Amino acid sequence: MQGTHRSTLLHSWAIQRRVIGALLIRESLTRYGRHNIGFLWLFLEPMMFTVGVTALWTFSGAGHGSNLPIAAFAVTGYSSVLLWRNMPGRTIGGLGPNMQLMYHRNVRAIDVFLARLTLEVLGATMSFIVLSSLFTFLGWMSLPEDILKVLFGWFMLAWFGTALAIFLGAVSERTEVIEKTWHPASYLLFPLSGAAFLVDALPKNAQDIILLLPMVHGVEILREGYFGSAIHAHYDMVYMTLINAVLTLLGLANTRIISQTATPK
Amino acid sequence: MIEIVNVSKHYPTRHGEVAVLQDLNMTIAPGEKVGILGNNGAGKSTLIRLIGGIEQPTHGHIKRSMSVSWPLAFAGGFQGRLTGLDNLKFICRVYGTPFEDKIDFVEDFAELG
């Protein structure tokens, strides 16, 4: 917060929390409104995606190179896709509808991004929890073998999605190339993201290539947490942390740049 | 106190950089009333936007040691897709002040949705 009283870090954090909270309410109001089920869409929408994909994979008997139950495979896979794929969709061009709110100098680009991303993570997480509990209850999958590993994998995927979204969202304010290319890119990345296969089922040289994609590591560790000894997971969390950290830095730097230039008219 | 120290503001245009404000210095004390006059494009709005903090100066800085409103009577500050009441609540939340007692005050001169 340039200007006001040489604010301390703690004071700034209080302001930022307030602003993000206000933006959270504003986003959920304009996105879901108060009519019919309103806020529940937040996780019903991703749930419908995951249920649909699970059904498709079940009936088409999609091969995934293991003998894991297909429902469990689809839930762990598709839920993690929701994390990294939908978040950039919310931040690319996401400042536009909020531009007028930046008349309040405490409202910054990063706050808009963080509010939108918090909603996305909440929705995807709730959808994942509800569906996996439901499928466990129905006997389609068993409880995770190592819940901490599942949580860690989920956290890493959410971090990756957030960092990627902040980076792409910020850069999209400077060039429309991002907006035009993200759709095809995310579509093409989906089948490569590890959601629909186990890395172990691939030939060795294909494994090396596919493991360049950071989200594959997140899905693999999440599945190891879930299925444990039933699968042989391939991941390198140091690699994923490194990619996440670099993306976070690039994202924050670019957000700072656009904060100087992107201003309401 | 609002202190404007060596503030310049340049905008990039197709014909190169245009300097709207150049080495501006002034101090405004609490309670003081200042009017700014100038032709179209003289930089009146730009100055208000810089003081309000919705744009950053190209050079120099602005120190605010009293409460400074966001620029009023410009188009901005409100979200068109929210109702008047939701906009009021949003602004109160951003500035960390309760909205319960503001509703009647605003209702007094405007109809809230």
Q: In sequence order, which ranges of chain A are alpha helices (DSSP H)?
A: 9-32, 41-60, 70-91, 109-137, 147-172, 177-189, 204-210, 214-227, 237-261
Q: How confident is the model at residue A156 (pLDDT cuts 50, 70, 90)?
A: very high
pLDDT in tens, A183-229: 999 999 998 998 888 898 899 999 999 999 999 999 999 999 998 88
DSSP B5: E
What are the C-alpha distances in Å from A92 to residues A20, A87, A160, A182, B20?
18, 9, 16, 9, 31
Chain A CB within 8 Å of residue B95 CB: yes
Q: How confident is the model at residue A179 (pLDDT cuts 50, 70, 90)?
A: very high
Instruction: Answer whether B45's CB lies under 8 Å from B73's CB.
Output: no
Query: How many other C-beta atoms are found inside a 10 Å radius of the C-beta of residue A135?
Result: 20
- Subunit contact B76:A15, Cβ cutoff 8 A: no
Contact residues for A48 (Cβ-Cβ < 8 A; gap 6+): none
Identity of residue B53: G
pLDDT of residue A132: 92
- Find tokens 């197709």 and name the residue: B14
Q: How confident is the model at residue B9 (pLDDT cuts 50, 70, 90)?
A: very high
Buried-exposed string A221-253: b where 16+ CB fall within 10 A, e elsewhere: bbbbbbbeeebebbbeeeebeebbeebbebbbe
Give the residue on B whose Cα is nearest the Cα of A107: B94
pLDDT in tens, A105-144: 889 999 999 999 999 999 999 999 999 999 999 888 888 8
Q: What is the spatial distance between Cα A245 and Cα A262, in angstroms, rounded to a whole number?
A: 25
Counted across chains A and B, CB pairs separated by less than 8 A come out at 80
Instruction: Answer whether A150's CB lies under 8 Å from A128's CB.
Output: no
Coil vs helix vs strand at A168: helix
Burial class of residue A124, CB neighbours in 10 A (0-12, 13-18, 19+)? buried
Q: How far is A116 from chain B, CA to nearest CA, in Å?
A: 16
Residues of chain A that touch chain B, judged by Cβ-Cβ distance less than 8 Å: 2-5, 14-15, 18-19, 21-22, 25-26, 29-30, 97-107, 259-260, 263-265
H-helix or E-strand spanning residue B19: strand B16-28
What are the C-alpha distances in Å from A263 to residues A5, A27, A173, A194?
23, 20, 11, 39
Instruction: Answer whether A160's CB lies under 8 Å from A124's CB.
Output: no
pLDDT of residue B76: 76
- Subunit contact B54:A264, Cβ cutoff 8 A: yes
